[in-house]
């Protein structure tokens, strides 16, 4: 009887604690996700304001996947588009699509962001246009998950610097180039990072670190812009949003069929644009926000183990496929 009474007292103490923990770490964040996606996107989204802030959007890495979807949907919203990528043929294809479907002006800039000498020419070609939105989307990843050093097929050392040039330098240089032109009237800078930039990702170490750079750079610039705007004067608020997608059905992810957790580029970008001004650091879509919430509930050692095992298995499958092809 005494033991039963003690157990009962413990239950009275523990149950409220458990309920509080569950509510604090799961229920409230879950409600917050749905509130932002379903309510605040209707009230606070700055997507429809972009056209009033300037006639043009600049999109890097705009010929495939997420970048092409940004170009397409911003054109659909009535913005003229500057496409920047390295393939003339693909740029011409996207430009024709945008002109034919949305009757907007389109400019093309051929540039390889792995080279550091492209920015002066880009700046000259962008002179004289009112840019309302910059989308820093260009990026390169690993051909397959692998060790940085050691192992059967480690990352080629020659891939490192071009990857950092494309994934890191392009974001900083393009933002530095166009942000001063937005500050007098407002605008938006959208930096596309990756879910792998939110946590260490074994077997994608350099790529993951480069995307973590984008996250930290964007958050820092956003704080600087808010500080400038708070002082008044001629500086307007510029929205700096970081988008950190998980899997999207693109060539880069090698996912061919879209699903709830791996949406099509257009579906993903449509949600991400609606979250402009609502979420500064955004997973981009509802399914990825839910996915990240569930992942964040796991202890760090567990999530790291699962991620490491998953990436290692992916590497093994890729190596086997390479062996068969050879």
- What is the C-alpha to C-alpha distance for residues 261 and 290, in angstroms, rounded to an integer? 9
Q: Establish if 240 belongs to a structural domain.
A: yes
pLDDT at 6 over 50: no
Q: Establish if 20 belongs to a structural domain.
A: no
Chain segment 96-107, per-residue pLDDT in tens = 999 999 999 999
Q: Which residues are catalytic?
A: 207
| Burial state string for 174-211 with b = 16 or more CB within 10 A and e = fewer than 16 | bbebbbebbbebbbbbbbbbbbbbbeebbbbbbbbbbb
Q: Establish if 305 belongs to a structural domain.
A: yes
Average pLDDT over residues 242-260: 88
**Closest-CA residue to 85 (of 104, 105, 66, 99):** 66
pLDDT at 251 over 90: no
pLDDT at 18 over 90: no
pLDDT band at 1 (very low <50, low <70, confident <90, very high): low
- What is the C-alpha to C-alpha distance for residues 45 and 101, in angstroms, rounded to an integer? 25
Query: Looking at residue 325, what is its pLDDT?
Result: 58
Chain segment 105-131, per-residue pLDDT in tens = 999 999 999 999 999 999 999 999 999
Question: Could you tell me whether strands 187-192 and 131-136 are parallel, antiparallel, or unpaired per DSSP bridges?
Answer: parallel
Helices (H), 26-79: 28-35, 41-43, 50-53, 65-76
Chain segment 291-313, per-residue pLDDT in tens = 999 998 888 888 889 999 999 99
Query: Looking at residue 163, what is its pLDDT?
Result: 97
pLDDT at 89 over 70: yes
Q: Establish if 141 belongs to a structural domain.
A: yes
Q: Establish if 6 belongs to a structural domain.
A: no
Question: Could you tell me whether strands 56-60 and 187-192 are parallel, antiparallel, or unpaired per DSSP bridges?
Answer: unpaired
Query: Looking at residue 254, what is its pLDDT?
Result: 76
> Does residue 235 come out as left (phi exceeding 0), alpha (psi in the -120 to 50 range) or beta?
beta
Length of the chain: 326
The position carrying tokens 């290692």 is: 312
CATH code where residue 80 lies: 3.40.50.720
Largest CA distance in the chain: 85
Q: Establish if 48 belongs to a structural domain.
A: yes
Q: Establish if 10 belongs to a structural domain.
A: no
Q: Which two tokens stand for residue 81?
A: 């588009």
Query: Looking at residue 231, what is its pLDDT?
Result: 83
Cβ contact 63:91 at 8 Å? yes
DSSP secondary structure of 97-109: HHHHHH---EEEE
Query: Looking at residue 326, what is its pLDDT?
Result: 53
User: Which structural domain range is residue 253 located in?
Assistant: 33-325
Least confident of 17-26, 169-178, 240-249: 17-26
- Give the burial class of 272: count Cβ atoms within 10 A of its Cβ; 0-12 exposed, 13-18 middle, 19 or more buried: buried
Chain segment 271-292, per-residue pLDDT in tens = 999 999 999 999 999 999 999 9
The single-letter DSSP state of residue 236 is P
- Give me the phi and psi of 134, to 5 degrees please: -115, 125
Average pLDDT over residues 59-72: 97
| Burial state string for 141-158 with b = 16 or more CB within 10 A and e = fewer than 16 | bbebbbeeeeeeeebeee
| Mean pLDDT taken over the chain | 91
Domain count, the chain: 1
Q: Establish if 21 belongs to a structural domain.
A: no
């Amino acid at each position: 009887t005494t033991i039963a009474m003690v157990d009962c007292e413990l239950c009275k103490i523990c149950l409220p604690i458990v309920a509080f923990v569950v509510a604090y770490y799961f229920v409230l964040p879950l409600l917050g996700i749905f509130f932002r996606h379903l309510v605040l996107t209707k009230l606070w989204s700055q997507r429809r304001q972009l056209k009033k802030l300037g006639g043009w959007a600049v999109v890097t890495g705009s010929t495939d996947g997420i970048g092409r979807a940004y170009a397409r949907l911003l054109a659909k919203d009535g913005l003229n588009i500057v496409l920047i990528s390295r393939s003339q043929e693909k740029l011409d294809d996207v430009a024709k699509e945008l002109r034919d479907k949305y009757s907007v002006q389109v400019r093309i800039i051929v540039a390889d962001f792995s080279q550091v000498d492209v920015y002066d020419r880009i700046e000259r070609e962008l002179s004289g246009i009112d840019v309302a939105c910059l989308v820093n989307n260009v990026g390169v990843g690993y051909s397959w998950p692998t060790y940085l050093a050691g192992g059967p097929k480690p990352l080629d050392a020659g891939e490192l610097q071009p990857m950092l040039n494309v994934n890191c330098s392009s974001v900083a240089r393009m933002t530095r180039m166009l942000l001063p032109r937005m500050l007098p009237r407002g605008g938006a800078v959208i930096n596309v990072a990756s879910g792998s930039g939110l946590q260490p990702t074994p077997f994608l170490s350099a790529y993951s670190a480069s995307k973590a750079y984008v996250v930290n750079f964007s958050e820092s610039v956003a704080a600087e812009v808010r500080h400038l705007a708070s002082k008044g004067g001629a500086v307007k608020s510029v929205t700096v949003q970081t988008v950190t997608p998980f899997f999207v059905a693109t060539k880069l992810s090698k996912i061919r069929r879209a699903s709830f957790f791996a949406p099509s580029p257009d579906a993903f970008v449509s949600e991400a644009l609606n979250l402009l001004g609502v979420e500064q650091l955004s997973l981009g879509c509802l399914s990825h926000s839910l996915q990240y919430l569930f992942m964040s509930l796991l202890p760090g050692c567990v999530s790291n183990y699962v991620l490491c095992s998953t990436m290692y298995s992916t590497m093994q499958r890729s190596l086997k496929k390479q062996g068969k092809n050879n």
